Amino acid sequence: MQKPLLAVLVSSALFSLNAQAADLVQVYKQALANDATYASARAALAAGQERTAQGRSQLLPTVGLSGTALKNSGDQTDRIKGLSGDTDNYSHTMQLQLTQPLFRWANWENYQQGKLSTAAAEAVFAQAQQDVILRVSQAYFDVLTAQDNLTATQAQKAATTEQLASAKRNFEVGTQTITDTHEAQAAYDLVVAQEFAAQNDLEVKRTALQQIIGQAPGALAPLRTGVTVASPQPATLEPWVSAAEEQNYGVTGAKLNVEIAKREISKQRAGHMPTLDLVAQKTRNSVSGASLANNNAIGVTWSIPIFNGFAVTSKVRESIALEDKARNDLEASRRQAAQTARQAFLGVNSGLAQVKALEAAEVSSKSALESNKLGYQVGVRINIDVLNAQRQLYTTQKDLSKARYDTIMNGLRLKSAAGSLREEDLEPINALLDH
């Protein structure tokens, strides 16, 4: 009765460990809640959204209340009557004024720039949303890659240990030379060193993921064995490049910057234009508590600039140069987005071909290892042949896993370059994980 109970407890423990393994979507949600870079982008968006309100405020009326309270001290002498006396009193002035801009071209351009700046902030935040998907996915698969490397190294270490023990036994009975033992010992020492390096690399990759999600990552769900990575749709390059040149968020932001630069030229030229404001005010003056005068006024004020030392002309030239810079930045962004799309598209397709080739190589490596083991038992293969076959198999398996991870990441980068990467795109990848 005790053995079945023990088996149940062990099985329950293993199931609990697997149930606690976090998948890609769960890790992504942790990043949304804790990633400092994403939080910074969210705060920048909130700040950028205020630009529209700030620009609109320059088109709306302003109301102000001002006043003075003074104590006046002096004396007065009447030479005819021969009288003199103090003239101390208190004076109070209060003014309520409303100003409504009627024509201020610079203010109108500021408002338009504010709307464009808000749109640019939204484009930057959308890019940050895509970046967090890429960073989380890359860090997640980096950890899986490091785990695969460590697992393969430890498996190779176990096999090498067995081969070393076998070589020592065969040398003792005289069926093998000391050379076989030395070769097995050298292979064992090498794999021990590789194990230390793999353990360190895994810790580094886990720390990188921790930096994004804000806490030490637990167990991660690995890819299921033999999964098939989907090819990009559409399957041709041109639609992806076209989408990248028009829909990439970096390109969108650069387009908005060009429009902002155009508005800046018009705003600076407004320095040569007249301004016109509607003004309404109510004024009240009193001295020592006695009301002396109340005045109500309404009208317009205007101003015409005549000469300002060529400052406006210089600022216009500066704005034109900055607009030219913005256009060149836009072209550079388009070219970069197109190049990124090309690289990612080629990466996906070459990755799919590489996965297919490595799957065939894995089958061949397994057959080669079995053949070498059998040949070693019958004496037609030596110990180093088995070790090399084992090393070849583990290397192929590591390369196969890495090729799958790289293909998945290139697929995400391709969608990001085209401006179409969304949180929902993680769901098909999550379905490939062993939950």
CB 326 within 8 A of CB 257: yes
pLDDT for residue 13: 40
Q: Domain count for the chain, please give it.
A: 1
Q: Looking at residues 28-32, what average pLDDT do you find?
A: 95
Mean of per-residue pLDDT scores for the chain:
88
Assess if residue 11 is contained within a domain.
no
**pLDDT value of position 79:** 60
Q: Indicate whether 83 belongs to any domain.
A: no
Instruction: Give pLDDT, residue 185.
Output: 85
Work out the angle at residue 318's Cα, subtended by the Cα atoms of residues 335 and 45, and round it to the nearest 5 degrees: 55
Range of the domain at 46: 21-62+104-272+310-430
| pLDDT for 54 beyond 80 | yes
Q: Residue 186's pLDDT is what?
A: 87
In a domain, 277, yes or no: no
Question: What value, to the nearest 5°, has the Cα angle with vertex 372 and ends 371 and 375?
Answer: 85
Lowest mean pLDDT among 11-20, 252-261, 377-386, 404-413: 11-20
Report the pLDDT value the prediction gives residue 27, as an integer from 0 to 100.
96
Q: What is the pTM of this model?
A: 0.84
Classify residue 6: in a domain, yes or no: no
- Which two three-digit tokens encode residue 251? 């390109």
Whole-number pLDDT of residue 240:
96
**What phi and psi, each to the nearest 5 degrees, are found at residue 292?**
-105, -40
What share of the chain in percent tops pLDDT 90? 67
- Residue 215's φ and ψ, nearest 5 degrees, are -155, 160
Is 287 inside any structural domain? Answer: no
Would you say residue 364 lies in a domain? yes
pLDDT digits (tens, 9 = 90+) for 263-302: 999 999 999 999 999 999 999 988 875 667 788 999 999 9
Residue 343 placed within a domain: yes
